[in-house]
Amino acid sequence: MSDLVIRRPDDWHLHLRDGAMLEGVIGDTSRHFARAIIMPNLVPPVVTTADADAYRERIVKAIPGGDRFEPLMTLYLTEHTEADDVARGKESGLITAVKLYPAGATTNSHGGVRDLDKVMPVLERMAKIGLPLCVHGEVTTPEVDIFDREAVFIETVLDPLRQRLPELKVTMEHVTTKDGIDYIRSSSGNLAGSITTHHLIINRNAILVGGIKPHYYCLPVAKRESHRLALRAAATSGDARFFLGTDSAPHVDPLKECACGCAGIYTSINTMSCLAHVFEEEGALDRLEAFASLNGPAWYGLAPNEETIRLIKRAEPVTFPAKIETGAGPVTVFDPMFPLYWDVA
């Protein structure tokens, strides 16, 4: 197969940042994707419906002319979040989900949740009104090895929460381990997982072998090869509980290439080419549409996009810039470390 038409995809986990960075990166998403769930971990974070409304206006204003793109807004869950405000956001149609960051888990997460009991009234209201909870599934206690954070989170936080509140709909975002895949598959309902582009392609060797490579550093950090293979098997299986969430996360190069570099990989610009390559390797090009365009909308209760995109396999490699220039500074583009032949026509 060298020519593939699929429904226009959506991105169910995206960082757009704000200001000059937002203006510099949004076109790489709106060119191919119809919708995206927008992460709320700005500085300051998007914690109220009013914050989300204002942020959405800034996003819409930055969309390049002629592109049709809908930002799906989320709220950053804190121990001071008001259940009534969350419910108003859901009722208005503005808020698609609420995001749980364990405090300190990733970029701009210091204001996240430390004590789950303090947010239970909000979670109970969300369960009642059918508003999904998106979770960054890692514990942050210092005694837990960074490569074990996801598995420990499932055991000590997520599973107890789901037993306590089984009617709550939970998206386990950017799953990185076989443990996460197996846990989702074993669930009887109300649980799904997004998988990133880069976790299908890199393992932890990409970060550490031959010198530290900061542009492959992300959180959750890439794991062993056995975990990467489990992610690929899930993504290409056609299982409706797994869908694309790129977690594309731009940082300017000086903040990546320093003594304490930021976590995040920028993949929006070449995700569809990378995914087509992965799915072709797995003999599953016929399932790419389910992963990128169908499973996510079904999970979030939305109709799939009517528009389509066309992917063509070129005779020569497709070239992408090594960096994009933004008003905030240069951002390095994800390099999958192999040539890409699939192109969005």
Q: Quote the pLDDT of residue 322.
A: 98
Which pLDDT tens digit goes with each residue over 171-210?
999 999 999 999 999 999 999 999 999 999 999 999 999 9
Please give the share of the chain, as a percent, with pLDDT higher than 90. 96
Query: What pTM value is reported for the model?
Result: 0.97
d(Cα 109, Cα 254) in Å, to the nearest integer?
20
Which pLDDT tens digit goes with each residue over 8-23?
999 999 999 999 999 9
Tell me: pLDDT of 109 over 80.
no
Residues facing residue 330 across a β-bridge: 325
- Residue 156's pLDDT band (cuts 50, 70, 90): very high
Q: Quote the pLDDT of residue 110.
A: 76
Q: Quote the pLDDT of residue 103.
A: 83
d(Cα 180, Cα 154) in Å, to the nearest integer?
7
d(Cα 324, Cα 337) in Å, to the nearest integer?
18
Q: Quote the pLDDT of residue 107.
A: 73
Cis ω on the peptide bond leading into residue 317 (within 30° of 0)? no
Q: CB 1: neighbour CB atoms within 10 A? A: 9
Which active-site residues does the annotation give?
A: 247
Q: Quote the pLDDT of residue 112.
A: 86
Q: Quote the pLDDT of residue 108.
A: 65
3-344: CATH superfamily:
Metal-dependent hydrolases (3.20.20.140)
Which region among 107-111, 214-218, 264-268, 311-315 has the lowest average model confidence (pLDDT)? Answer: 107-111
Strands (E), the chain: 3-7, 11-14, 35-38, 70-76, 95-100, 133-136, 170-173, 191-195, 242-244, 308-313, 323-326, 329-332, 342-344
* 204 to 136, 146, 225, 228: CA distances (angstroms): 19, 12, 8, 10
Tell me: pLDDT of 242 over 80.
yes
Q: Quote the pLDDT of residue 291.
A: 99
Cis ω on the peptide bond leading into residue 250 (within 30° of 0)? no
Mean pLDDT for the stretch of residues 297-310: 98
Q: Higher model confidence: residue 112 or residue 40?
A: 40
Q: Using an 8 Å Cβ cutoff, are 138 and 150 in contact?
A: yes
Sorted by sequence, the CB contacts under 8 Å of residue 179 that are 6+ apart come out as 150, 151, 154
Mean pLDDT for the stretch of residues 42-66: 97
Mean pLDDT for the stretch of residues 290-314: 98
